[in-house]
């Protein structure tokens, strides 16, 4: 049995000093003790990352120039993204996913929900194993040790009017029966990963016919994730086709509850916020990507006031930083409201609320038995370096605030379901995976 000792730790009941956490051979926490002196560092429950498209990491930095049309937008970015993914082979996807998962672990995430839609060959035909690409994501997780919730994406049409998939979307499209086969093979690919989960993701209201979407809750017993209400043009498209705004339509037609995670929600009215929050559906927020794509600002204050649950996703993976995601979320509210410490509560600082609530929300969204340092839970743990003078002698909440807002105290160690994969700030197999990733980028540059 391994025992981790920390100078301070965030337990479900609050901050504790001189904590020892014993890990069981099953990847779960066996015992938590306090008053065990001699430890160093700040020990926290490590959150999951609830939304990722791994392959998009390889186009980071390639979409920041002005395009030929003069006005760049989410939709021009989307065209570049479709063009980019056309070149990717299964080997490329595995190498990119390993790099991404390694960076996530080094950033403090113990697990990831991979919203995975790049299923088929460039011409749209299935690989010999219809879940070949899912198997590559699983292989990367086996190598990096990240906890994986795999969400194969159902994608069937080019828009709400039922138009056919466009050229850039051929690799995503799957009929409902073929999708069931793909899910079976995906489950096989996850078998070597003891704490993996399988859910599914209807891509968006745009990509699935309504009658199919209403059947989705019967197609798996795992978590259900869907993009919803991210862009104004999407709101208009759904309103024109279905006579309701996206969140409104979802509230009236889907059995929304804690199994669901709705990604973005940057275009949500006050009334929709008040109705959606109490359903228990998790708001999947991706503050860095939402800023990068010009999506708009999620109404986090309204969501909080109505008791809503949220978690953080790195989505396009243009920058993988848990601390910066949390900071960006709070700053978006401050800039909108011209106020400070907006998400703080009477007895919890801003950083504490952001970190603690995002950790619990992600555990629900990933269907993962994690989110707190307590016996029986998966040992998803992150140790921050607490030696910075901005942290060292301060109360626990202030240490989290310094990490998130002052950018001090990096991730020192990380355990995912007890796997000690980040040590002294680096993933234990960083060199191998970084070299393969560099190779992959070189190959992609040589491809026209
Ligand atoms: C995606 N990404 O599936 O990767 C989407 C873009 C779409 C974000 N929404 C494509 N951030 O929404 O159709
Ligand atoms: Zn997404």
Chain segment 279-292, per-residue pLDDT in tens: 999 999 999 999 99
**How far apart, in whole angstroms, are the C-alpha atoms of residue 141 and residue 162?**
35
**How far apart, in whole angstroms, are the C-alpha atoms of residue 183 and residue 152?**
7
Give the pLDDT band (50/70/90) at residue 446.
Answer: confident
From the list 51, 116, 227, 315, the catalytic residue is 315
Q: Determine the pLDDT at residue 344.
A: 98
Give 11's strand partners: 14
Place of tokens 């106020």: 339
Q: Which ligand is nearest to the CA of 205?
A: 1
Q: Which ligand is nearest to the CA of 114?
A: 2
Report the half-sphere exposure of 333 (CA within 13 A, side-chain side).
Answer: 19
Is pLDDT above 90 for 447? no
Q: Which atom of ligand 1 is nearest to the CA of 234?
A: 12
Give the residue, out of 78, 80, 206, with the most ligand 1 atoms within 8 A of its beta carbon, to mutate for a pocket test: 78
CA of 281 to the centre of ligand 1 (A): 20
Q: What is the mean pLDDT of residues 338-343?
A: 98
Angle at 35 between CA 34 and CA 39, to 5 degrees: 90
Backbone phi, then psi, for 151, in 5-degree steps?
Answer: -120, 85
Which domains does the chain possess? 44-430 (3.20.20.140)
- Specify the residue with its C-alpha closest to ligand 1, atom 3: 203
Burial tier of 163 (Cβ tally within 10 Å: 0-12, 13-18, 19+): exposed
* C-alpha closest to that of 95 among 432, 446, 445: 432
Beta-carbon contacts of 32 under 8 Å, excluding residues fewer than 6 positions away, are 11, 19, 20, 21, 22, 373, 374, 375
Specify the 3-state DSSP secondary structure of 305: helix
Is pLDDT above 90 for 416? yes
- Specify the residue with its C-alpha closest to ligand 1, atom 1: 53
Q: Determine the pLDDT at residue 1.
A: 83
Q: Determine the pLDDT at residue 218.
A: 97
Q: Which atom of ligand 1 is nearest to the CA of 295?
A: 11
- Taking only the tens place, the pLDDT of each residue in 359-369 is 999 999 999 99
Give the residue, out of 50, 51, 52, 53, with the most ligand 1 atoms within 8 A of its beta carbon, to mutate for a pocket test: 53
CA of 127 to the centre of ligand 1 (A): 23
Give 17's strand partners: 8
CA of 373 to the centre of ligand 1 (A): 34
Q: What is the mean pLDDT of residues 252-262?
A: 98
Q: How far is the CA of 324 from the CAs of 84, 181, 291, 308, 424, in angstroms?
A: 26, 39, 12, 22, 20
- Specify the residue with its C-alpha closest to ligand 1, atom 5: 78
Cβ–Cβ under 8 Å, residues 223 and 152: no
Cβ–Cβ under 8 Å, residues 301 and 272: no
Q: What is the pTM of this model?
A: 0.98
Beta-carbon contacts of 89 under 8 Å, excluding residues fewer than 6 positions away, are none
Q: Which ligand is nearest to the CA of 160?
A: 1
- Whether 264 is a known active-site residue: answer yes
**How far apart, in whole angstroms, are the C-alpha atoms of residue 304 and residue 309?**
8
State the chain's mean pLDDT as an integer. Answer: 97
- Specify the residue with its C-alpha closest to ligand 1, atom 6: 78
Q: Determine the pLDDT at residue 448.
A: 64
Report the half-sphere exposure of 91 (CA within 13 A, side-chain side).
Answer: 6
Q: Are strands 419-423 and 426-427 parallel, antiparallel or unpaired?
A: antiparallel
Q: Determine the pLDDT at residue 86.
A: 96
CA of 272 to the centre of ligand 2 (A): 21
- Specify the residue with its C-alpha closest to ligand 1, atom 10: 78
CA of 406 to the centre of ligand 1 (A): 31
- Taking only the tens place, the pLDDT of each residue in 65-110 is 998 788 999 999 999 999 999 999 999 999 999 999 999 999 999 9
**How far apart, in whole angstroms, are the C-alpha atoms of residue 277 and residue 283?**
8
Give 383's strand partners: 43, 413
Is pLDDT above 70 for 255? yes
Specify the 3-state DSSP secondary structure of 153: strand
Give the pLDDT band (50/70/90) at residue 267.
Answer: very high
Q: Are strands 381-384 and 309-312 parallel, antiparallel or unpaired?
A: unpaired
Q: What is the mean pLDDT of residues 401-424?
A: 98
Q: What is the mean pLDDT of residues 215-244?
A: 98
Place of tokens 């063009």: 83
Q: Determine the pLDDT at residue 69.
A: 80
Is pLDDT above 80 for 231? yes
From the list 264, 357, 380, 427, the catalytic residue is 264
Q: Which atom of ligand 1 is nearest to the CA of 207?
A: 13
Q: Which atom of ligand 1 is nearest to the CA of 315?
A: 11
CA of 293 to the centre of ligand 1 (A): 10
Pocket lined around ligand 1, Cβ cut-off 6 Å: 53, 78, 204, 227, 230, 289, 293, 315
CA of 1 to the centre of ligand 2 (A): 39
Cα end-to-end distance, the chain, whole Å: 52
**How far apart, in whole angstroms, are the C-alpha atoms of residue 369 and residue 383?**
19
Q: Which ligand is nearest to the CA of 284?
A: 2
């Amino acid at each position: 049995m391994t025992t981790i000792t920390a100078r301070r730790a965030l337990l479900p009941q609050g901050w504790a000093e001189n904590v020892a956490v014993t890990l069981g051979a099953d990847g779960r926490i066996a015992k938590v003790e306090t008053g065990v002196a001699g430890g160093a560092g700040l020990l926290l429950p490590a959150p999951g990352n609830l939304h990722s498209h791994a392959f998009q990491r390889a186009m980071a930095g390639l979409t920041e120039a002005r395009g030929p049309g003069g006005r760049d937008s989410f939709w021009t970015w989307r065209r570049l993204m479709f063009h980019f993914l056309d070149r990717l082979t299964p080997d490329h996807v595995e190498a990119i996913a390993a790099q991404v998962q390694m960076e996530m672990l080094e950033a403090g995430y113990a697990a990831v929900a991979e919203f995975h839609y790049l299923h088929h060959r460039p011409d749209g035909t299935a690989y010999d194993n219809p879940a070949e690409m899912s198997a590559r994501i699983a292989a990367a997780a086996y190598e990096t040790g990240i906890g994986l919730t795999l969400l194969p994406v159902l994608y069937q049409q080019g828009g709400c009017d039922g138009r056919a998939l466009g050229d850039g979307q051929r690799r995503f499209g799957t009929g409902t029966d073929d999708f069931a086969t793909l899910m079976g093979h995906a489950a096989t690919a996850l078998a070597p990963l003891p704490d993996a989960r399988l859910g599914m993701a209807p891509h968006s209201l745009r990509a699935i016919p309504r009658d199919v979407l209403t059947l989705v809750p019967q197609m798996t017993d795992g978590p259900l994730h869907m993009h919803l209400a991210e862009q104004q043009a999407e709101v208009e498209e759904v309103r024109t086709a279905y006579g309701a705004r996206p969140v409104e339509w979802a509230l009236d037609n889907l059995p929304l509850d804690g199994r669901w995670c709705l990604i973005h929600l940057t275009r949500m009215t006050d009334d929709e916020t008040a109705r959606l929050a109490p359903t228990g559906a998790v708001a999947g927020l991706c503050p860095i990507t939402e800023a990068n794509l010009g999506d708009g600002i999620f109404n986090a204050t309204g969501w909080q006031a109505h008791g809503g649950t949220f978690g953080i996703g790195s989505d396009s993976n243009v920058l993988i930083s848990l601390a910066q995601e949390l900071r960006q979320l709070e700053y978006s509210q401050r800039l909108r409201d011209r106020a400070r410490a907006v998400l703080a509560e009477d007895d919890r600082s801003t950083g504490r609320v952001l970190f603690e609530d995002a950790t619990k929300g992600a555990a629900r969204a990933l269907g993962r038995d994690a989110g707190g340092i307590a016996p029986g839970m998966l040992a998803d743990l992150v140790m921050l370096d607490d030696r910075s003078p901005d942290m060292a002698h301060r109360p626990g909440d202030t240490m989290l605030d310094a990490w998130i807002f002052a950018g001090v105290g990096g991730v020192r160690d990380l355990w995912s379901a007890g796997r000690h994969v980040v040590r002294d700030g680096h993933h234990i197999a960083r060199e191998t995976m970084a070299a393969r990733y560099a190779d992959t980028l070189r190959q992609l540059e040589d491809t026209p």
